[in-house]
Amino acid sequence: MEAALLGLFMVSAGVFTVIFEYPNSPFHQAIANADLRRFLIGVAMGMTAIALIYSPWGKQSGAHMNPAVTLTFYRLGKVKRQDTALYILFQCLGGLLGVYLVALILRDGFTQPPVNYIVTVPGALGWVGAALGELAIAFLMMFTILLTSNHKKLSRYTGIFAGCLVMLYVFLEAPLSGFSMNPARSFASAFPAQIWTAFPLYVFVPLIGMFFAAELYQSLFGQRAVKCAKLNHHTHRRCIFRCNYKQEGEVELSDRLSIPDNR
C-alpha cells in the first residue's frame, strides 16, 4: 500500500509538472507567469496528497509515503523495526515505479529538461538555501502532523492540514530546493535521471527536521503524547501500529499507555 501511495503521488507530480512546465504543452503556453504555474502545480499536488491520505489504502497503511515520516514514528516507538524497514523499501520502490511509468507514457516531455524526471536539485541560493528550506518544511510538516493527529477535534483533519502544507511548499519552497522533504521521492527521480546533485541533503535534512519536530512536541506535551503513527485514524479497520485503537473505530487520546520498546 505504501508503494502504491507514493507511486501514485509521483505519477501525479510528474503529469502535472509536464502539463504546466513542458514547453509544448498548451497550458504552459497559455500561462506565461511561472509563479502561477507553480501555484497550480502546488494545488494539484496538495489535492493529490489529501486524496491519498483519506483513501482506503491511506487509512490502512497510515499514509506515510515518506521514509523520514516512518523513521520519526519508529523513533517515537510507534512502528516496529521490521515494519520500518519494509515501509522504507516499498516507499522507494513505489516512487521509482511511479516515475518510470510517467517516463514510459510521456517520454521526452517528462525525461528531458525542463521537467527532467522532476529531479530535486538546489535552486539559486545553492545548497545552503536548499538545506534551510528542506529543514524548515520537514519540521513544520511533522510538528503539524503530531499536533493535529493527537488532538481529539483536529485528528480527522490531519490529512487536510498536510495537503495544504504541500500546496504551500510547492509554491513557496520549491524554488529553493525543488521541494522534496522525502528521501524516497528524491531517490525516485535521481535514479532514472542519474542526477545526484546534493542527494545526501535530500536524504538527511528532512529526517533531521522531523526528528527535531518530534523532540519538541514531546518536550511540550509529554513522552506519551503521540498515540499512533497514522495520519488518519478514523477507520474501523484494525490498526497495524502500536496505539490504543478501539475496535469501534474511535481513538482514545490519553496518557495511560506505556511507551513500548522498538523491537
Q: Is residue 246 part of a domain?
A: no
pLDDT of 64 above 90: yes
Number of domain units in the chain: 1
Mean pLDDT of 70-76: 94
For position 242, what pLDDT does the model report?
64
pLDDT of 129 above 70: yes
pTM for the model: 0.89
Q: Is residue 226 part of a domain?
A: no
> What is the grid cell recorded at 48?
493529490
- Name residue, grid cell 519552497: 173
Q: Computed over its alpha carbons, how large is the radius of gyration of the chain? A: 18
For position 237, what pLDDT does the model report?
65
Q: Is residue 52 part of a domain?
A: yes
Domain assignment of residue 13, given as a range: 2-221
Q: Is residue 228 part of a domain?
A: no
> What is the grid cell recorded at 37?
504555474
For position 154, what pLDDT does the model report?
92
pLDDT band per the 50, 70, 90 thresholds, residue 247: very low
CB atoms within 10 A of CB 94: 23
- State the amino acid at position 8 in one-letter form: L
Q: Is residue 109 part of a domain?
A: yes
Q: Is residue 54 part of a domain?
A: yes
State the chain's mean pLDDT as an integer: 90
For position 263, what pLDDT does the model report?
41
> What is the grid cell recorded at 140?
513544520
pLDDT of 246 above 80: no
Grouping H, G, I as helix, E, B as strand and the rest as coil, residue 187 is helix
Query: Measured at the alpha carbon of residue 177, what is the angle toward residues 174 and 121, in degrees to the nearest 5?
Result: 120
Q: Is residue 15 part of a domain?
A: yes
Domain of 51, CATH number, reads: 1.20.1080.10
For position 60, what pLDDT does the model report?
86
pLDDT of 259 above 70: no
Cβ proximity of 69 and 142 under 8 Å: yes
Q: 145-174, pLDDT tens digit by residue?
A: 999 998 888 989 999 999 999 999 999 999
pLDDT band per the 50, 70, 90 thresholds, residue 262: very low
Q: Which residue has the higher pLDDT, 138 or 229?
A: 138
Whole-angstrom CA distances from 34 to 25, 37, 129 are 14, 5, 20
Mean pLDDT of 120-131: 97
> What is the grid cell recorded at 43?
494545488
Average the pLDDT over each of 53-57, 113-117, 185-189 and give the range with the smallest value. Answer: 53-57
Q: Is residue 230 part of a domain?
A: no
Concatenated DSSP letters for 25-76? -HHHHH---HHHHHHHHHHHHHHHHHHHHTSHHHHHH----SHHHHHHHHHT
For position 225, what pLDDT does the model report?
86
Q: 168-178, pLDDT tens digit by residue?
A: 999 999 999 99
Give me the helix-helix angle, 183-193 and 81-106, nearest 10°: 40
